[in-house]
A and B are shown apart, each in its own frame.
Chain A
Amino acid sequence: MTATLLKEASPPAAPHPDGSRGRRLRRRGRVIALLFVFPALLLLGALVVYPVLFSVGRSFFDASGNEFVGGENYAEMFRDPATLKAIRNTAIWVVVAPTLLTGLGLILAVLVEKVRWATAFKLLLFMPMAVSFLAAGIIFRLAYDEDPDKGVLNAAVVSVHDAFEGSSSYPTARARDGEGLTARPDGSYVTGADVSPGGTAALGLVGVAPKDLPGDAEPARPAASRSAGADEIGGVVYLDFTPGGGGKPGVVDPDESGLPGMKVEAVRDGSTVATATTGADGSFRFTGLDGGAYTLKLPSANFAAPYDGISWLGPALVTPAIIGAYLWIWTGFAMVLIGAGLATLPRDALEAARMDGANEWQIFRRITVPLLAPVLTVVFVTLVINVMKVFDLVYIIAPGPVQEDATVLATQMWLVSFGGGNNQGLGSALGVLLLLLVIPAMVFNVRRFRRSQR
């Protein structure tokens, strides 16, 4: 849009000599001129203008191309759920992506002027423009991978989550039936018999593979035989399984390991009065308890399935995720274009406002943004045109089964025409719809050009 539109074109320097010699010269000039434009006109005519007309015509015929169906393909477009989904997704793209990009570009363009390494920053953010959508697609397929051991985004999300919520250590652990622990519907376990201060408890669990034990786990037997003080309840949480066999269920055998990091609660009359976390040998101890009967509880958090992060490329988030990748590519473009506009703002207006005591936010809101409005419009319109035609990113990033949730007009047009659908009537109608959507931009360009010629 910022193409170097010329200010005024001079009329051609066509000589107007009179006489037959002059006429011959002029005719010769025209022939030469036509030779100059002929290759371009041939290519444009055969490969651009003719296809547009052909597609418009083809869109009124059925899939095979033999039968005239009128506007049927256009009606079908709004009936077929897949195409409807594509239209809806394209609408989301067109509203969300240009808005975010223009906003982000504006903020960064203003901020980057305040640092000395502005040029390096601009280069870094602009660089993704040189990268193909395919490469960007592979990059983001990798970043969005659902497995936190592969996708960097989920690795970050999971580590933040676990830092606040703590990770559960024993998702597979369970108690043996009839060995003192009862399962509750919420996934926690409680002791069947009450424990009083001065008493101890050995809470045995199974279902943890020895290789899944934390590296610092120690045998539980020494701790299990320790007694508790008058106001204490002690005990161990252990893996009631002897590797190689030979252990007795419900008994802490010599080779059986403690389960470190297990949360234990002492519950009295239905409310938790004390909590403890087991040590390396699985031992826990509640101190300073009043007399009475307590139940011990292993809360469900110990057994919760591990948090896997967010399903970025699942049906719900796939479109926002792909828009995120698009932002990575285009933010630099918006920033540089807006930055160029920023450089043309009148310095005195900004200085005067500063002298009058306006703060940076007021200057931004009241002066910078209104003066930049024309540039922002150009950036926004440019992005809308580009977003409408987005194809490669969606095609590459959305995994096969989710493709239909992520589909946009351009991918749908491809699928319908060439990718199995093989309905070239409907495909042509979708192509024509894409063309109709960019016609406002076409009019805008032509008007702008004609104005520049006056």
Chain B
Amino acid sequence: MNAIRRGLSSAVVQAFLVVIGLVWMTPLAGLFLSSLRSAEETAEGGWWTVFTSPGQLSFDNYSALLDNSGITQAFWNTVLISVPTTVLVVVVAALAGYAFAWLDFPGREPIFLLVVALLVVPVQIGLLPVAKLFGQLGLFGTIPGVVLFHVAYGLPFAIFLLRNYFAEMPKEMLEAARMDGGSEWRIFIRLVLPVGRPAIASLAIFQFLWVWNDMLVALLFADSSAQPLTVQLQSQIRQFGSNIDVLAPGAFLSLVVPVVVFFAFQRHFVQGVMAGSVK
């Protein structure tokens, strides 16, 4: 009797989770199927009509997208913003993280507490002052400007994460290396970076996705020749409905990269996002 009841309740749980899973997949499936239909077909009926008439599906929207210079340019801009930002954040934060963990300099403790405090500062507060500053420096509207802003606002978390990871290295390991006469630079390159690889990987993936998916910062700091995919697509949203044949494949293109990264590095990604949730 008990076994039957347990079996029944487990069937209910399974059914419930299957329904939730389907609900979670539907929006994404809807976007993908919409991206494979022409504007006329979208005007006539929903994406679910493909199940009864699969003849609608074609990759025409995608080939049109590749001929759309605005979109392809924006795609490369996204790469040119995300990759350098990720590299810079990792390098600058690794240097600082090592110094905060193992080197002696005046004000080390209070400065690190300040970094911890900066973790939750919203980017909004930086928009206006940095825009003025970049205007004076000629960086406003350029890709380097966008990159610098992202690096600065990515640093508190990056330093926090790496400093804590490096600090857990065994002290003897470092002392042995110092005894051998290695300079701090050599120790950093040969010892600290390899040991810190798991944390650096999580940080890099998290940072890359964060910047790839950003819209707000680029909306202000990137002019039309520097704008990434998110900004380019949002500028087309005003005529939502009439140009779903551009928006749907464009949105899908913009999320393919993060989703592939997600599945390729799921463990690092989950750790990175969970650690980065303080932001």
Contacts and interface: CB of A to CB of B under 8 A. Distances in A.
Contact of B120 (A127, A385, A391): A385
Interface string A367-396: 000000000000000100110110110011
Interface string A190-228: 000000000000000000000000000000000000000
A65 to B, nearest CB: 10
B128 A132 contact: no
A215 B271 CA distance: 58
A4 interface: yes
Interface string B227-247: 000100110011011001001
A44 interface: yes
A72 interface: no
A135 B104 contact: no
B27 A139 contact: yes
Contacts of B275: 2-4
A139 B251 contact: yes
Which of B44, B106, B178, B277 gathers most chain A CB within 10 Å?
B277
A33 B93 contact: no
A386 B10 CA distance: 35
B95 A40 contact: yes
A48 B10 contact: no
A125 interface: yes
Interface in B154-174: 155-156, 159-161, 164-165, 167-168, 171, 174
A364 interface: no
B261 A14 contact: no
B56 interface: no
Contacts of A47: 126, 130, 133, 148-149, 152-153
Given A30-B104, A39-B92, A3 B122 contact: no
A34 B124 CA distance: 30
Q: Does more than half of chain B's interface fall in helix, strand or loop, or is it mixed?
A: helix
User: Which of A54, A132, A382 has the most C-beta atoms of chain B within 10 angstroms of its own C-beta?
Assistant: A132
B60 interface: no
A37 B216 contact: no
A154 B106 CA distance: 63
Interface in B170-214: 171, 174-175, 178, 184-185, 188, 199, 209, 212-214
Given A9-B167, A48-B153, A138-B247, A449 B21 contact: no
B79 interface: no
Given A152-B48, A400-B238, A37 B125 contact: no
Nearest to B152: A47
Given A128-B24, A131-B258, A413-B124, A32 B149 contact: no
B251 A134 contact: yes
Contacts of B124: 389, 391, 410, 413-414, 430-431, 434
A376 B277 CA distance: 14
A213 to B, nearest CB: 20
A154 B31 CA distance: 16
A48 B156 CA distance: 10
Contacts of A414: 124, 127, 216
A427 interface: yes
Among A142, A386, A435, which residue has the most Cβ atoms of chain B within 10 A?
A: A142
Interface in A1-16: 1-7, 9-10, 12-14
Nearest to B25: A124
A299 to B, nearest CB: 30
A3 B129 contact: no
B27 A143 contact: yes
Contacts of B31: 135, 138-139, 142
B209 A14 contact: no
B262 interface: yes
Interface of A: 1-7, 9-10, 12-14, 26, 29-30, 32-34, 36-37, 39-41, 43-44, 46-52, 54-55, 58, 108, 111-112, 114-115, 121, 123-143, 145, 148-152, 155, 328, 331, 333, 336-337, 340, 360, 382, 385-386, 388-389, 391-392, 395-396, 399-400, 410, 413-414, 417-418, 424, 427-428, 430-432, 434-435, 438, 441-442, 445-446, 449-450
20 contacts: A2-B277, A3-B160, A6-B167, A13-B178, A33-B184, A39-B92, A44-B156, A48-B121, A48-B126, A108-B17, A124-B24, A129-B262, A135-B251, A138-B237, A152-B27, A396-B237, A434-B124, A434-B125, A441-B278, A445-B278
Given A48-B155, A414-B216, 19 more contacts: A29-B184, A30-B104, A40-B93, A50-B133, A58-B128, A58-B129, A115-B14, A128-B24, A130-B259, A131-B259, A132-B230, A141-B237, A150-B241, A382-B277, A395-B234, A418-B220, A438-B122, A441-B120, A445-B119
